[in-house]
Structure 1
């Protein structure tokens, strides 16, 4: 647990996105999100969907805690995502 507190402090200090920080330091995004939530760093936000803005043309991967992965290609449209959620 103490190690995760330091990792979260380093992440915040870095100014990087969680995804970029994880790639650089070899961490898994969903684990950092878990510890952020565990330590109350979402400050009152309920779990659910949040807006994500991509700054690159890189593919997006969503990984749920149960291991389900959704990979979206670069340039994926919001309507495509909605269609996946309506299945």
Structure 2
């Protein structure tokens, strides 16, 4: 299990797709995905602590995005989630961003 945990972390840092990472190391991609899912369900490294500075002012909603949710990723990047979003698509985007982190 520790081997797979290390490989999954290494793949995330590599910036490579799972297929390319596995091909380069002679790993079976379906096994990689299965272990990634299994270890992801164990609750490890799921949440990141967020600290809001005491001087932060609440964001003022705009008329066009008043119901939207903005997820700030740092380094000037953010994801704007509009009402009626596709949850499956959002999960895929967040998973891809998590792999790049």
Q: Aligning the two structures, in what range does the TM-score lie when normalised by the shorter sequence?
A: 0.3 to 0.5
- TM-score by length of structure 1 reads 0.46
Ranked by relative contact order (alpha carbons within 8 Å, sequence separation 6 or more), the top structure is: 2
Q: Which structure has the bigger radius of gyration?
A: 2
